[in-house]
Amino acid sequence: MEIKKNYQYGGWNNCILISGGKIKLIIVTDIGPRVISFGACEGRNMLKEFTESLGSTGGKDWIPYGGHRLWHSPEASPRSYCPDNSEVDYKIVGSTVILSQKTERNTGIKKEMEITLFEENSFVEIVHRIINKNLWAIETAPWAITMMAENCRAIIPHEPFQSWDENLLPVNSVNLWSYTKMADPRFKWQDKYIQLKQDPALSSRQKIGITSKQCWIAGANKDDLMIKRFFRFPFAIYPDLGSNIEAYTDKDVIELETLGSMEVIEPGEYLEHTEYWFYFQAELGEDEESLDKQLIPLIDETENILYKTNER
């Protein structure tokens, strides 16, 4: 395990590099909280980088930057678009980095990320924390948004198929935005999976959300594969018509998004949502047979790793 402070990346001078096992990630502290890079130790960054904003700080407008960020859902402007252009406080405790944003003036919300790399099994745990610094209660949900590099393909699972006489009730929902076009060529609607691919040649925006009991979303780009896992609370209420997984794309980026439950947060209290990131070197096919053969064993492996880790 290696943790380097004051690491220079993309024009920022105060990043933190964490590497161990087969993966590395780079955290920005000049802005944020934000993870700007994730991937194999000797590989390329799987996350999106907006070249024009790398290394920049300050300003009154929200800037995409790229990488992974924490928002509060449901989306609303200007609330969701509070700038994260200022330096964050951080502390390092063992293999954990805790990032703490200054309280947002307009919302009274403070965002934190607690990032831990587990070297033995090469995965990352990110606890996303929304803290209510207001004098009154608020209702929101933590929203973890990972901006992936160009040409990445999002893979979202359907619930396991059963014949009509085995299950007469619906098992999940697919939620559409007003600008979603189901016939868009970037979508691939399959019996077991929904796939959405980023294409720099197509400028229109597309987004979907689903209610998932499978609790994973994958991003595939050439031979790089990222799997994001999370836990679901069966009786919780989720935003965006019950979505706990969302995927968005345009000409610049594709976002793999997971959401925590909608809760009332009392003054001084907080709400958390945890993701687990896994990296694999695997070049996946797009047909269901290939995904069943190549992807599902890796999904099972991540489940076993989390089960064994949480048992300790």
Task: Flag whether pLDDT at 299 surpasses 80.
Answer: yes
User: Quick one: 310 exposed, middle or buried, by C-beta within 10 A (0-12, 13-18, 19+)?
Assistant: exposed
pTM of this structure: 0.96
Per-residue pLDDT, 312: 59
Residue range 237-245: mean pLDDT, rounded: 98
Q: And the tokens for 30?
A: 């000049």
pLDDT in tens, 53-65: 999 999 999 999 9
pLDDT in tens, 28-37: 999 999 999 9
CA angle 34, 221, 304 (to 5 degrees): 75
C-alpha–C-alpha distance, residues 143 and 72, integer Å = 5
Task: Flag whether pLDDT at 177 surpasses 80.
Answer: yes
Per-residue pLDDT, 82: 95
Mean pLDDT of the chain: 96
C-alpha–C-alpha distance, residues 288 and 266, integer Å = 45
Q: How many residues comprise the chain? A: 312
Per-residue pLDDT, 168: 84
In this predicted model, which residue has the larger pLDDT, 170 or 244?
A: 244
pLDDT in tens, 98-107: 999 999 999 9
Percentage of the chain exceeding pLDDT 90: 92
Task: Flag whether pLDDT at 175 surpasses 90.
Answer: yes
DSSP state of 66: B
C-alpha–C-alpha distance, residues 49 and 129, integer Å = 24
Per-residue pLDDT, 98: 98
Under CATH, which number does the domain 2-311 receive?
A: 2.70.98.10
